[in-house]
Amino acid sequence: MKAKILLGISTCLLGKPVRYDGGHKLDRFITETLGQYVEYVPVCPEVECGMPVPRESMRLEGNPESPRLITTSTRIDKTSQMTGWAERRVLELEKENLMGFIFKSDSPSSGMERVKIYADKGTVSRKGVGFFAHAFMKHFPLLPVEDEGRLHDPVLRENFIERVFVLARWRETLAAKADRGGLVEFHTKHKLLIMSHSPRHYQEMGRLVARAKQVPLQELFSRYQRLLMEGLKLRATSKKHANVLMHMAGYFKNQLSFSEKAELLEIIELYRKELIPLIVPVTLINHYVAKYDQRYLKDQFYLHPHPIELQLRNHV
Nearer to ligand SF4 by C-beta: 11 or 294? 11
Nearer to ligand SF4 by C-beta: 11 or 196? 11
Question: Which residue from 139, 136, 5, 113 is spatially nearest to 60, judged by alpha carbons?
Answer: 113
Q: Does the bond joining 54 to the residue before it have cis omega, within 30 degrees of 0?
A: yes
CB of 146 to ligand SF4, least distance (A): 14
Nearer to ligand SF4 by C-beta: 54 or 141? 54
Q: For residue 257, give every residue at least 6 positions away whose Cβ sits within 8 Å of its Cβ, in sequence order, or none.
A: none
CB of 19 to ligand SF4, least distance (A): 4
CB of 109 to ligand SF4, least distance (A): 4
Q: Centre a 10 Å sphere on the Cβ of residue 293 and count the other Cβ atoms it contains.
A: 8
**Contacts with ligand SF4, residue ranges (CB under 6 A):** 10-12, 18-19, 44-47, 104, 107, 109-110
Nearer to ligand SF4 by C-beta: 51 or 242? 51
Nearer to ligand SF4 by C-beta: 8 or 281? 8
Angle, CA of 34, 229 and 215, to the nearest 5°: 140
CA–CA separation, 107 vs 27, rounded Å?
A: 16
The sign one gets for the Cα dihedral 256, 258, 262, 265 is positive
CB of 135 to ligand SF4, least distance (A): 13
CB of 87 to ligand SF4, least distance (A): 16
Question: Which residue from 168, 180, 162 is spatially nearest to 6, judged by alpha carbons?
Answer: 168
Integer CA distances (angstroms), 305 to 240, 260, 298, in order: 16, 25, 12
Nearer to ligand SF4 by C-beta: 61 or 158? 61
Nearer to ligand SF4 by C-beta: 147 or 158? 147
CB of 75 to ligand SF4, least distance (A): 19
CA–CA separation, 130 vs 108, rounded Å?
A: 4
Nearer to ligand SF4 by C-beta: 146 or 158? 146
* Dihedral pair phi/psi, residue 270, rounded to 5°: -60, -40
Question: Which residue from 127, 130, 161, 128 is spatially nearest to 144, judged by alpha carbons?
Answer: 161
CB of 61 to ligand SF4, least distance (A): 17
User: How, if at all, do strands 5-10 and 38-43 pair?
Assistant: parallel
CB of 11 to ligand SF4, least distance (A): 5
